[in-house]
Structure 1
Amino acid sequence: MIGFAMPLAFLLLPLPLVAMQLLSGREAVTGALVLPESIGRSLPGEARDGVSVRAQRAIPILLWLALVTALAGPERLSPVEALPVSGRDLVLAIDLSGSMEQTDFTLDGETVTRLDAVKTVGRRFVAGRAGDRVGLVLFAERAYVAAPLTFDVAAVARAIDEAVIGISGRSTAIGGGLGVALKRLETSEARSRVVVLLSDGADTSGNVLPAEVAGLAKRLGVTVYTIALGPEDQETRPNDPDAVDAKTLREIAETSGGSSFRVRTTADLETVTAAIDRLEASGLDRPPATVRQDFWIYPAMLAFACSIFLVVSRRAL
């Protein structure tokens, strides 16, 4: 159904008549609009009679009608099914330290690096977050935002796939990575704010202690889920430089009200992402969205054509 964005614009339709009344003492009025005397004198005899003269008078009227109609903004509003929106903002924080190059994971029957396994599972996880605003933080010695919060989960999945070890150093700043993720969520008005933090090492860089950042997450109301990645951890292998600090990651999650997961294989990683999906389930019903289709261009084009006709006909005369 066609409607108008500014129907009050039609109040301008009688404006030429008002102008004629105000100028009636000084201008010659012909028909509904003022016809300049110079045009009237220059019209040939056959053009002053019959259909031709009526057309000459109708064109200015048609031009004004088209202009007012274009200003009123004719439009058609069509309801379309809205995308489901969860009301949740989720930031995925991934460790890009040098230890992620370790080839101790199996994917599709082949031995791959920890990073390759995380990329594969991370892409699947993000692709399934339709309805969430998802962001990506990558951290090693330094942390940076690789993808801002967005509903475009495909773009975030591409950012995960393009992650490269060494771009932000090779040590591990867990506190810094979590801090940057929280900074992105600090001003969020989402009803649920979540950080999923994945690391395969211990905090060896940065000036912020992970425990302090976990306390900040609790004060902000952000839930943190941590994933301790790798076959060994510091609780059982305290002297192994590549062992993950599962204890610290567990404390971060518990402080914020989240959960911690221990991952030793790719199958474990897939199980964890499915568990997080269940813990932070999507689903917020929204009414259908309305798509507006504008039609003002058509009366505007008609008004332009009438203007061209008037200019050309006046020069011809």
Structure 2
Amino acid sequence: MFSFQWPWLIILLPLPWLIYRFWPMSLHHRQVIPEIRLPYIQAIALAFQHTKPVEKKTGIKRSFWLLAFAWLGLTLALMYPQWLDKTVEVKKDGYDLMLALDLSGSMRYRDFVAPDGTQLDRLQAAKIVLDRFIQYRQGDRVGLVLFADHAHLQAPLTLDIQAIRTLLSRATLGMVGRETAIGDAIGLAVKKLRERPSESRALILLTDGDNNAGRLHPRKAAELAKQYEIRIYAIGVGSVDLLAQGLNENALREIAELTGGQYFPATDLQALAGVYQHISDNLLKTEADSRIYLQQTPLYAIPLGFALLMLLMWAWMRVNLQEDF
């Protein structure tokens, strides 16, 4: 379907004529200057003229039409003509998953080993595991919450999986403080998930410590999640020895079980292997909001090129035919 994005700009079409007609300094209104008239001056002028009077009038007429067509082309280009392809309505069934990632200072501990033997800190390991997890969530709505001293919504629920992966890769320690506000993270996730159908929403919480910051207690936040039927899947990140020093596994297990979710100790890079299977067994996919997309192909280059061609022809006539414009 052909259309103009700014059709109202057609009002510019008579602008040159209006300037000529009403501008005080235009040729139409120029003041007649007294001149000395000499006998036979026209005959003398015609004797030195290279072109015939008829040719002069023809040149002026040509130049008028070339400039008129050039202005028409420029006006059409400004109206931004475009071709709209048929609308495409996208509907996908999927889960509503909010990821809450701990960025507290203890995530700097290097107690993970990559397949190539490289030592990784907890945040690097969490990014690797989450990236693999997100990569296969095509059709699911995924959001991202980062938390430490407080919780921050890095991305709302979206079908743009690649954007979530990019934002996850840019998360760094210290972005939101050094402490661990688990309750605030759960509360923020609940706020963003509560408008989605209850049978499809879940929070995946990754942390390596106990709640020691924030205004909302994790138990109170979990009760709020239960009220909205949001399941929490808590994942304790770190080696067994170091987890015992700071992670309150009992608290995380209590939070998860209170909401109908489950607690998973993540002591290696394969820890999330069973999480999505558990989600698939306990949640139902729901349809995302319908979206309509229009494929727009701009066509302004065609009238713009036509206008430039008219101007080049006008310039060529003026230089090579030496016509009076």
Which TM-score band applies after superposition, normalised by the shorter structure? 0.5 to 0.7
User: 1:103 and 1:57 mapped to 2: Cα distance?
Assistant: 78
* TM-score scaled by length of structure 2: 0.63
Cα root mean square deviation, aligned: 4.9
2:39: which partner in 1?
none
2:98: which partner in 1?
91
1:227: which partner in 2?
234
Secondary structure of 1:138's match? Answer: strand
1:213 to 215, 221, 227: 221
Conservation of the 8 A alpha-carbon contact between 1:263 and 1:269: no
2:76: which partner in 1?
69
Conservation of the 8 A alpha-carbon contact between 1:99 and 1:201: yes
Conservation of the 8 A alpha-carbon contact between 1:77 and 1:291: yes
Provide structure 1 residue ranges, at least 5 long, that are not aligned to the other structure: 24-34
Q: CA deviation at 1:209?
A: 0.9
CA change 1:198–1:51 in 2 (3 A) is same
Q: How does 1:101-120 map to 2 (within 5 A)?
A: 107-108=114-115, 110=117, 113-120=121-128
* TM-score scaled by length of structure 1: 0.64
1:145: which partner in 2?
152
Provide structure 2 residue ranges, at least 5 long, that are not aligned to the other structure: 22-26, 31-41
Conservation of the 8 A alpha-carbon contact between 1:47 and 1:53: no
User: 2:29 and 2:238 mapped to 1: Cα distance?
Assistant: 96
Conservation of the 8 A alpha-carbon contact between 2:239 and 2:267: no
User: 1:212 and 1:152 mapped to 2: Cα distance?
Assistant: 31
Give the partner amino acid of 1:147: Q
Conservation of the 8 A alpha-carbon contact between 1:197 and 1:224: no
Conservation of the 8 A alpha-carbon contact between 2:59 and 2:323: no
1:249: which partner in 2?
252
1:26: which partner in 2?
none
| 2:302 paired with 1:298 | yes
Identity of aligned residues (%): 30
| 2:204 paired with 1:202 | no
User: 1:75 and 1:166 mapped to 2: Cα distance?
Assistant: 47
Q: How many residues align?
A: 289
Q: CA deviation at 1:12?
A: 8.8
Structure 1, 151-160 or 300-309: larger mean CA deviation = 300-309
CA change 1:135–1:316 in 2 (3 A) is farther
Residues 91-138 of structure 1, C-alpha deviation per residue, up to 9 Å, x if partnerless? 311223455456665653857554443222111112233445543323
Secondary structure of 1:94's match? Answer: strand
Secondary structure of 1:175's match? Answer: helix
Conservation of the 8 A alpha-carbon contact between 1:146 and 1:159: no
Q: How does 1:149-168 map to 2 (within 5 A)?
A: 149=156, 151-165=159-173, 168=176
CA change 1:80–1:72 in 2 (3 A) is same
User: 2:53 and 2:73 mapped to 1: Cα distance?
Assistant: 25
User: 2:174 and 2:92 mapped to 1: Cα distance?
Assistant: 36
User: 1:180 and 1:284 mapped to 2: Cα distance?
Assistant: 21
Q: CA deviation at 1:180?
A: 3.7
1:56: which partner in 2?
63
CA change 1:292–1:124 in 2 (3 A) is same
1:136: which partner in 2?
144
Q: CA deviation at 1:210?
A: 1.2
CA change 1:302–1:280 in 2 (3 A) is same
Residues 13-69 of structure 1, C-alpha deviation per residue, up to 9 Å, x if partnerless? 8x69x98xxx8xxxxxxxxxxx9699xx99985474386354234224423532453
| 2:276 paired with 1:269 | no
Give the partner amino acid of 2:66: I
